[in-house]
A and B are shown apart, each in its own frame.
Chain A
Amino acid sequence: MSESGGPDVTQELRLPWDDDPEDLYEHAPCGYLTTLPDGTIVRVNETFLTWTGYARTDLIGHKRFRDLLTPGDQIFHETHYAPLLTMQGEVHEIALDVVRADRSRVPTLVNAVLESGPNGTPRIIRTMIFNATERRRYERELLGSRRAAESSEQRVRVLQQIVADLAAAPTEAEVAEAVIRAPEPAFQAASSSIFLVDPERDELVAVSSTDPTTGNWDDMPRSSTRAVAEVARRGDLHVIATVAEAEEHFPDLAESMRRSERKTVVLLPLTTGPAEEHGAVAVLGVLAFSFREERVLTDGELRVIRLLGQQAGQALDRARLYDEGRRREDRSSFLARTTRALDEQHRLLQRARRLVERVVPEIADWALVRLQVGPAGLVEYHGGPAPDPELLDARVAEAVETCAPVYAGDGDGLDCTVLPLTVRGRVIGTLALRMAPDRRGAGADRLFLVDLADRAALALENARLYEQERAIARTLQRSLLAADVPGADSRFALETHYQAAAQDLEVGGDWYDAFLITANKLAVVVGDVVGRGIDAATTMGQLRSAIRALATAENGPARLLEGLDRFCERVESARMATVVYAEIDLLSGELAYATAGHLPLLLHEPAGPPQYLMQARSAPLGSRAGDRRRVEDRIRLTGGSRLLLYTDGLIERRGRGLDRGFEILAREFSRLRDAPLKGLTAGLADILVGRDHGDDVCMLCLSLGTEERLERSIGADPVQISRLRADMRGWMAGHGIDPDCLNAVLLASSEAVANAIEHGYRDDPFGMVDVSATISADAVEVRVSDHGAWRGPGADLARGRGLQLIYESMDEVSFDQGEGTTVTMRRHRGAR
């Protein structure tokens, strides 16, 4: 105590920094522990006790240092701390959590030193413990901000990727797919959905979602009270942070948030236009994303979200323009292709068919075209499913009545747009199209459909006109060609053939004609008028009549052609027509002929090879440049001669010279010398032009006079038998054979040929049957030979109804079987 009553500092006088070592130990700013080598606490300072809340007596002699650690740190103590201390004699800055008396933890940093005795054996451990609570917090913050930086970096990376994807996305759908992928990696959203504005229908359409079980997936009108529509109208980012907040502003959203267990929802309008001028932005869609927990978004995140909205909006805008451009291009290309495809078909039915096949599936799922042609009309359809027929009829009637398209409406139960097909103000039919709702409705589409209908109407009307003209021309031509050529005259026989071009073209101007000028003078004509279609058919009719009028007993071929030249002065369309004309005197067998620019006659006399008659040639009718001095030639024909008149379609063929054509025709005509006249011209056409030919073929074959001896070879085909009969009938009639005998010979000959085909050539479809017949004053003799091997049940010659008929109808019958079989049959003339 001091005299002044102040503190007695004399005895205990110390400087403030002159610490009492004991006090320093007890109240040092860190904890001290002294433990035995096994960890048992033998000394502890006050500071440690204050931090941990233990009493000194709790620890000394009762606890080891490691008993004060958390279970995890106890393991660390055993595996690292203690071994390190033993090996190194000290440890530094080991972070350990010490468990307080109240079980709470104190983060600490620990240094320890192992004191050893003079002989090196461990004596005690001195441990110094720093309270590291503050330091740990700092470390945690450091870690937190590093994580934040990382997540921001990741967000930026995700957004960069999305912006790149957006730039590359050419369609709305792809933009939507790119945008919807953003919120989950960038903001750890649980799910996201995207709605796009459909300006045509004034709707918001739910396009895509990463979790479609959330939310309401119906499309909604833009005027809807639903949150998405509201945000689209406002054009502003909305963060609905809690369900309660949603409850207040958007009950529909609160409902779906509760249902899908979402706590925070972000509604981001996808906008385009200048961001600064509010109200000038256009909203093209809304991106909605949500979180399972209540999520607070930082200003930085909100900035990034807004940016995403703008980027996506711009990408959508670009894609829409691009889509629109491409759609326009597609449509105009479709129209062009369709028009071209329709043009390829000339016929009405085929053209209508092609129309519906073009339209489905490119434009519609089902299409039906109806045309008001003919008594029944024309209907062609394609695709499916077909709509209700009654509703469709009503709509078709409406379209026809109003002469205006009736477009499909939502929920009209029909889904059909009906377009009137109008030409020159007249409705010629309708085109009904059934399209899925997402394929129709746009204003541009309507213009396109009207355009399509106009083009289709024109194409179909043209086909209809073509069809009409074609039908008239064909009828006219048929009526002219079908006019009976003279027959039933034993002095001559005629065979004609007309074959229209295989490609479905208009009728040509080829014709043939044959008529008797006088009782003993026969005229035959083949001609070819320039051009096709109804004009050619009409002109051909006129020329045909003119020839019939000009052909008189006195005129002769050359004068007839001169007359036709004069005719051409008045009938311009007949100019340049070509004609081959011949007159045959049936008494003398004299042939007079003339050709005007036409292919030469082909004559085959019984003896010798066929020859082209190259005389009496002059220019086509009415020709101005050609030699129009009409000349004629005369030649006497022997009985049994065949004369062929034909048009160029028979010998002209692409890739084959005309000379070659002449050569082949002569060869084939010669080869068929023994074939029956009936079917000869058709046979020639088959051989020379086949079925696939581009031009009409017209032929007339005249067989003159009566052959003394009938020689025919026919193929082993039952159809040939009737042709043979036709020849034999004419031949016998020409020789004045009485009907009973004639019928009997025909029957026996037919049976003999049938036997040859049925039995001789049972296995040989290419076999030939030779028939020769002669007529004498008192009898007809026929010989039928084959080269086949008779086999089978019919080979029993004595049996069979056919043989019976031969025996019954003929007077003498003999069989000769050597190389094949020859039947010789004879029947006396006159009644039996």
Chain B
Amino acid sequence: MTDHWVSFSRRGTAELVHLKGEIDLANANDIGRAIVARTTGADAVVIDLTAVSFLDSAGVRLLDFIVGDLDDRRKPVRLVVGEHGAARMTLQLCSFRSDLLATDLDRAAEELDR
């Protein structure tokens, strides 16, 4: 049911989470559950937000939770956002740590895999 918004792949040890479309109050919880089911136990996670056309505070809360969880387990995580776009805007407005943000998926995955 969340397939519409979220899909997964692997790059080396890193779990890649691809998000797509609008993420808001209506679907953030379901998407969160789908992601956590996959990232619990992952050694590194890259969340690709380049195809996200809208991200609201519920989405931010979700990302914050996932990042916090990985930080606690001392596993690296990156959020890939485009140079422009809704996701970058929202995350910047929320002052997400700049070390979390990346603009290139491949490079982010490579970094974590090292």
Binding site for B on A (CB under 8 A): 718-719, 721-722, 725, 739-740, 743-744, 746-747, 750-751, 754, 757-758, 800-802, 804-805, 808-809
Contact = CB atoms under 8 A, between A and B. Distances in A.
A754 B56 contact: yes
B37 interface: no
Contact of A747 (B26, B61, B84, B86): B86
9 contacts: A722-B26, A743-B85, A747-B56, A747-B93, A751-B57, A758-B25, A802-B57, A804-B93, A809-B93
A545 to B, nearest CB: 31
Interface of A is mostly: helix
A6 B5 CA distance: 158
B90 interface: yes
Contacts of B26: 718-719, 721-722
B90 A747 contact: yes
B8 interface: no
A746 B25 contact: no
Interface in B17-73: 22, 24-26, 54-58, 60-61
Contacts of B56: 747, 750-751, 754, 802, 805
Interface of B: 22, 24-26, 54-58, 60-61, 84-86, 89-90, 93-94
Given A746-B54, A754-B58, A718 B89 contact: no
Nearest to B22: A722
Contacts of A805: 56-57, 60, 90, 93-94
B86 to A, nearest CB: 5
B25 A754 contact: yes
Contacts of A718: 24-26
Contacts of A809: 89, 93
A743 B25 contact: no
B57 A725 contact: no
B93 A808 contact: yes
A284 to B, nearest CB: 68
B24 A743 contact: no
A436 B78 CA distance: 67
B69 to A, nearest CB: 18
A449 B89 CA distance: 73
B61 A722 contact: no
Contacts of B90: 747, 805
Contacts of B84: 739
Contacts of B57: 751, 754, 800-802, 804-805
A758 B26 CA distance: 11
Nearest to B87: A743
A804 B89 contact: no
A784 to B, nearest CB: 14
Contact of B86 (A743, A758, A804, A808): A743
Nearest to B56: A750
Given A801-B60, A802-B57, A805-B57, A750 B94 contact: no
B29 to A, nearest CB: 10
From A722, A800, A808, name the one whose CB has the most chain B CB atoms within 10 angstroms: A722
Contacts of A740: 89
Given A744-B89, A754-B58, 16 more contacts: A721-B26, A722-B54, A725-B22, A747-B86, A747-B89, A747-B93, A750-B24, A750-B54, A751-B57, A800-B57, A801-B60, A801-B94, A802-B56, A805-B56, A805-B90, A808-B94
A370 to B, nearest CB: 33
Given A751-B56, A801-B60, A801-B61, A722 B93 contact: no
Q: What are the nearest 3 A-B pairs in CB distance? A: A718-B26, A802-B57, A808-B93
B74 to A, nearest CB: 25
